[in-house]
Amino acid sequence: MMEAARRAVERKGHDAALRALNLGCGERFHPQWVNLDLFPASAAVQKWDLKNPLQFASDSFDVVYHSHVLEHFPKKLARQVLAECLRVLKPGGILRVVVPDLEEVARLYLQAMEKAASGVPGWRENYDWVVMEMLDQAVRESPGGAWFEYLRQNPIPNWDFVARRVGAEAERARAAAGRAGEASPQSRAARMRAKWAYIVQNPGAVVRNKLARIVLSRADYDALQVGRFRRQGEIHQWMYDGYSLGRLLQEVGFVNPLRFRETQSQIADWTQYGLDNEPDGSAYRPGSLCMEARKP
């Protein structure tokens, strides 16, 4: 990311005046863009809940982009978010949406099921992974869910397959899952520091939580915790294929929805921003559906 940023700053080309917005950027953002997330990963990211209308004037951006964000909203809210993208784009501006590709994973599921059922070596594990890829993020009740558990295995039986599906993030997730399993004194100390920092920054929430623990039964308190987690933004609330996403974009008012590869775009010098591609040109999130549409 930093290398991509450095190259982009060096270029000082025609994109210097590009006004671009990245919604739900996570840790994947370009410093020259306006970047928003519910949980900012850096001072370069503004805190914003996309459930609310964007705080930008109409017709003010050349490009709006979001990657692996739309599927985190229920269908009705997804439509509202896309309508806001349309509003803040300049006429002729480009929306680029990246989501997990429902069609691709559905086709892979059928293939994996047939191979696993026929006893093809290695496909029992691949089948387990594909089913988890489809369902886990929609049904999990705690961070990381079954995905984390799978990546915590050592060794991971079908690592090559998983790495091909997930891309570079697989290695990062495997490392994070491994670290989460450690009970070293350092990790305990780090957890305590984080806990105290949370208490100092959120005294009201801590008191409310203590009261809830006293007032609610164990089952009700657990249900509250699950509900809180499921509203935090990690859960997949819907999935899209090229057909349904293109249709939705047109229903909202965009024109000419088109599919692109991770490294292709109507946005000039797209790969310079390092958002959908790694520095070596590989896809950041393989198995994604990348679609662009324009504001009329």
Ligand X SMILES: C[S@@+](CC[C@H](N)C(=O)[O-])C[C@H]1O[C@@H](n2cnc3c(N)ncnc32)[C@H](O)[C@@H]1O
Closest contact distance (angstroms) between CB of 210 and ligand X is: 26
Q: CB of 234: closest distance to ligand X in angstroms?
A: 7
Separation of alpha carbons 207 and 52, rounded Å: 27
| Residue 81: closest CA among 137, 89, 62, 39 | 89
| DSSP per position, 4-41 | HHHHHHHH--GGGG--EEEET-TT---TTSEEEESS-S
Least Å from the CB of residue 171 to ligand X: 14
Three-class SS state of 290: strand
Residue closer to ligand X by CB (options 113, 168) is 168
Residue pair 99/242 in contact by the 8 Å Cβ criterion: no
Choose between 48 and 161: whose C-beta lies nearer to ligand X. Answer: 48
Q: Shortest Cβ distance from residue 3 to ligand X (Å)?
A: 17
Pick 3 or 49: Cβ nearer ligand X:
49
Q: Which C-beta is closer to ligand X: that of 14 or that of 76?
A: 76
Q: Name residue, tokens 């657990």.
A: 222
What is the closest distance, in whole angstroms, from the C-beta atom of residue 222 to ligand X in the complex? 23
Residues that bind ligand X (CB under 6 A): 24-26, 28, 37-39, 48-51, 67-69, 72, 233
The residue (of 45 and 116) whose beta carbon lies closer to ligand X is 45
Q: Is the peptide bond prior to 74 cis by the omega test (within 30 degrees of 0)?
A: no
User: What whole-number distance in Å separates Cα of residue 31 and Cα of residue 97?
Assistant: 19
Contact (Cβ atoms closer than 8 angstroms) between residue 20 and residue 65: yes
Helix (H) or strand (E) holding 165: helix 159-166
Give the residue with the Cβ less far from ligand X, 97 or 112: 97
Q: How far, in Å, CA of 124 to CA of 134, rounded?
A: 16
Element at 44 (helix H, strand E): none
Smallest gap from Cβ 24 to ligand X, in A, equals 3
Nearest approach in angstroms of CB 28 to ligand X is 4
Name which of 35 and 272 has its Cβ closer to ligand X. Answer: 35
Two tokens, residue 76: 């009705």
